[in-house]
Amino acid sequence: MIDETHDYARTSWVECANGHGEFPIQNLPFGVFSPGQERPRGGVAIGDQILDLAKAAASALLAGEAKIAAEAAAAATLNSFLALPAAARRALRRRLSDLLAAGAAEAGEVKTWLYSARDCTMHLPASIGDYTDFYAGIHHALNVGKQFRPDNPLLPNYKHVPIGYHGRASSIRVSGAEVRRPNGQRKAPDAEAPTFGPSQRVDLELELGIWVGQGNELGQPIPIGEASDHIAGLCLLNDWSARDLQAWEYQPLGPFLAKNFLTTISPWIVTTEALAPFRIAQAARPEGDPRPMDYLWDETDQASGGFALELEVFLSTRQMREQGLPAVRISQSAASHLYWTAAQMVAHHTAGGCDLRPGDLFGTGTISTPDDRGVGSLLELTRGGAQPITLPTGETRTFLQDGDELSLAGHARAEGRVSIGFGPCSGIVRG
């Protein structure tokens, strides 16, 4: 549904939003922030400002569904907001777009709802009931499969089942949280016994996060044709991974300590409404692959279930920062390399009756390109640590060292005119 909120010619009286690479008036993502030391509440990013939804909810400028949505979003988490019908969320976004548009008569009052983002602290947008990590990046699955199972890189179920597993919700943090190198057990293939200590193979995983809006009752699957109404928006997600711990622990039930020490997300829910102009067919399923089973098949989803999103990974070492060198881009990928759509994930997750709740989070799995230009982990980029990369300082890296800062970035670009972004998703590794 493309409407006036997507009009690329629309500008805002919030001047810094015009030409802003992440938060122009066409984006308007939702998050939770604290101005100074004040209590957390819902907000919307516009340029380098944050619009206070608690103030909006208390104003006479909102009515009907938009007001109900603002009232729900004025709380310290967005769970109640996400529980609303998608139509209410959309009504609020449309109203805010109008109020923030250049020439809006209400600008004087709305200006009093704005805070400089630099004076605010961002929080998790929602209390995350459950976090599920999928494995939909097929080139990542292939690359990793080659290392862990050379004879059998892509398992027979991969092209039939949107493989996913339950992740840890408690250790998800917004961008900026420090990455403490985890302790754990590891065992070299030729060692007699495992040892315990700090992971020597801390890695990133470049993923998208998918925020669940309205949930479903236990035992009531969400048909794929209705799945998109249950998806509120996206964020960036770094599924930090300790590869040495993972290799030793992951059989037979999957990764555990290797992943649950931290997951970092970008703080804003970039709505599916803002991303509506950037929907594309999922490109990663080549001709000749099995047709998705009926419960995963929907014509609209086949035609436009994917997202045209550019994804990047930047690395900056302590030495680089001391020398004033900018971060280097170590990966340039795109969401089009996902094998399964967000709607297919929702349909699969609930197919057996499992209930989703508003504010649940999915990870897509690591998104890698078929070539080396855009692999989403150092495990892939350095061939399991065998081929170090060299940085502008002459330093080399296989996995992350203490002091390294890792940042993800994501953008949807409309013919060079408007760019919609996700905000930061970064963390510095500490020993």
* Residue of 121, 185, 200, 401 interacting with a copy of itself (CB under 8 A): 185
Q: Which is nearer to a copy of itself, 60 or 218 (CB)?
A: 218
- Cβ 262 to a copy of itself shortest distance, Å: 7
Q: Which is nearer to a copy of itself, 260 or 333 (CB)?
A: 260
CA neighbor of 188 nearest in space, from 241, 244, 227: 244
Per-residue interface string for the shown chain with a copy of itself, residues 248-277, x marking contact by CB under 8 A: xxxxxxxxxxx-xxx---------------
Tell how strand 306-307 and strand 164-167 pair up. unpaired
Q: Which is nearer to a copy of itself, 145 or 388 (CB)?
A: 145
Q: Which is nearer to a copy of itself, 65 or 133 (CB)?
A: 133
Q: What are phi and psi of 361, to 5 degrees?
A: -125, 135
- Cβ 399 to a copy of itself shortest distance, Å: 16
Collapse the DSSP code of 152 into the 3-class scheme (helix H, G, I; strand E, B; otherwise coil) and give the result. coil
- Cβ 216 to a copy of itself shortest distance, Å: 10
Please give the C-alpha separations between residue 235 and each of 29, 163, 173, 335, 392, in angstroms, as whole numbers.
10, 20, 12, 12, 30
314 binds a copy of itself (CB under 8 A): no
**What span, in angstroms and rounded, lies between the C-alpha atoms of 379 and 393?**
22
* Residue of 94, 146, 180, 318 interacting with a copy of itself (CB under 8 A): 180
Question: Token pair for residue 353?
Answer: 């009756």
Q: What are phi and psi of 4, to 5 degrees?
A: -65, -20
Collapse the DSSP code of 381 into the 3-class scheme (helix H, G, I; strand E, B; otherwise coil) and give the result. helix
Please give the C-alpha separations between residue 130 and each of 241, 271, 370, in angstroms, as whole numbers.
19, 20, 31
Q: Which stretch binds a copy of itself (CB under 8 A): 92-100, 179-187, 392-400, 402-410?
A: 179-187
297 binds a copy of itself (CB under 8 A): no
Q: Which is catalytic among the residues 6, 139, 140, 349? A: 140
- Cβ 209 to a copy of itself shortest distance, Å: 16
Q: Which is nearer to a copy of itself, 154 or 281 (CB)?
A: 154
155 binds a copy of itself (CB under 8 A): yes
Contacts with a copy of itself in 48-87 (CB under 8 A)?
none
Cβ burial of 328 (10 Å; 0-12, 13-18, 19+) is middle
**Count of positions on this chain that bind a copy of itself (CB under 8 A):** 65
**What span, in angstroms and rounded, lies between the C-alpha atoms of 143 and 166?**
22
CA neighbor of 1 nearest in space, from 189, 271, 342: 271
**What span, in angstroms and rounded, lies between the C-alpha atoms of 158 and 138?**
8
- Cβ 174 to a copy of itself shortest distance, Å: 13
- Cβ 162 to a copy of itself shortest distance, Å: 9
* Residue of 1, 9, 105, 193 interacting with a copy of itself (CB under 8 A): 193
Q: Which is nearer to a copy of itself, 351 or 389 (CB)?
A: 351
CA neighbor of 421 nearest in space, from 266, 285, 246: 266
Question: Token pair for residue 230?
Answer: 């249950």
2, amino acid identity: I
Per-residue interface string for the shown chain with a copy of itself, residues 132-151, x marking contact by CB under 8 A: ---x---------x--xx--
Contacts with a copy of itself in 339-398 (CB under 8 A)?
348-349, 351-357, 360
- Cβ 327 to a copy of itself shortest distance, Å: 24
Strand partners, 316: 405
* Residue of 53, 120, 242, 420 interacting with a copy of itself (CB under 8 A): 242
* Residue of 102, 109, 283, 295 interacting with a copy of itself (CB under 8 A): 295
CA neighbor of 314 nearest in space, from 291, 292, 331: 331
Question: Token pair for residue 125?
Answer: 């947008």
370, amino acid identity: P
Please give the C-alpha separations between residue 380 and each of 178, 286, 385, in angstroms, as whole numbers.
24, 22, 8
124 binds a copy of itself (CB under 8 A): no
| 140 tagged catalytic | yes
Q: Which stretch binds a copy of itself (CB under 8 A): 31-39, 187-195, 309-317, 379-387?
A: 187-195
For the beta carbon of residue 376, count every other beta carbon within 10 angstroms.
Answer: 30
Q: Which is nearer to a copy of itself, 12 or 79 (CB)?
A: 79
Cβ burial of 402 (10 Å; 0-12, 13-18, 19+) is middle
CA neighbor of 202 nearest in space, from 153, 239, 250, 149: 239
Mind telling me the catalytic residues?
A: 140
Binding positions for a copy of itself, rule: CB under 8 A? 129-130, 135, 145, 148-149, 155, 157, 160-161, 163-171, 173, 177-178, 180, 182-185, 187, 193-194, 196, 199, 218-219, 221, 242, 245, 248-258, 260-262, 290, 293-295, 348-349, 351-357, 360
